[in-house]
Amino acid sequence: MKLLDIINEEADNNLTPKDRKKANLIYKTFKKGKFKPSEGSYSIYEYELPDEYWLSNDDESGNPIVVLTMNPQQRMKMYLNIAGHISYVEREGHHSLYKWMEGEIQKKFKYSNVDIVF
């Protein structure tokens, strides 16, 4: 557990060791990523998820759930990369852009039968 700080490891959240291991692996895999808004676009949006998160499970689907921390210092970071020039995108004033990115990230996790809550 040196790579990521996993918090709230409660035994009563009904996660099996197998599901916990799977959720941690998926989180590490998708912790950083990139999206192009459209085909042929020169801009690429990059993201980095925070180090702190909780693990739980969905009572309905049985899928593990990754819940990101509410610590404002540990939010998802987003960058805009236009032809190699990278700039940080502030959350304030770009809420719809962040919501789009969160939706794209949720799709990635969903393909692995793991849910993520921002």
| pLDDT tens digits for range 68-84 | 876 767 789 999 988 88
Q: Are 55 and 64 in contact (CB under 8 A)?
A: yes
pTM over the 0.85 mark: no
Tokens of 41: 């676009």
Give whole-number Cα distances, 36 to 45, 94, 117, in Å: 6, 17, 22
What secondary structure letter does DSSP report for 61?
T
Query: What's the half-sphere exposure (Cβ side, CA atoms, 13 Å) at 88?
Result: 7
80 forms beta bridges with 45, 87
pLDDT, tens digit (0-9, with 9 covering 90-100), for 75-117: 899 999 888 888 988 888 888 888 999 999 999 999 999 999 8
Q: Are 101 and 48 in contact (CB under 8 A)?
A: no
> Could you tell me the end-to-end alpha-carbon distance of the chain, in angstroms, rounded to an integer?
22
Phi/psi class of residue 104: alpha, beta or left (left: φ > 0; alpha: ψ in -120 to 50)? alpha
Task: Reply yes or no on whether the pLDDT at 17 is more than 80.
Answer: yes
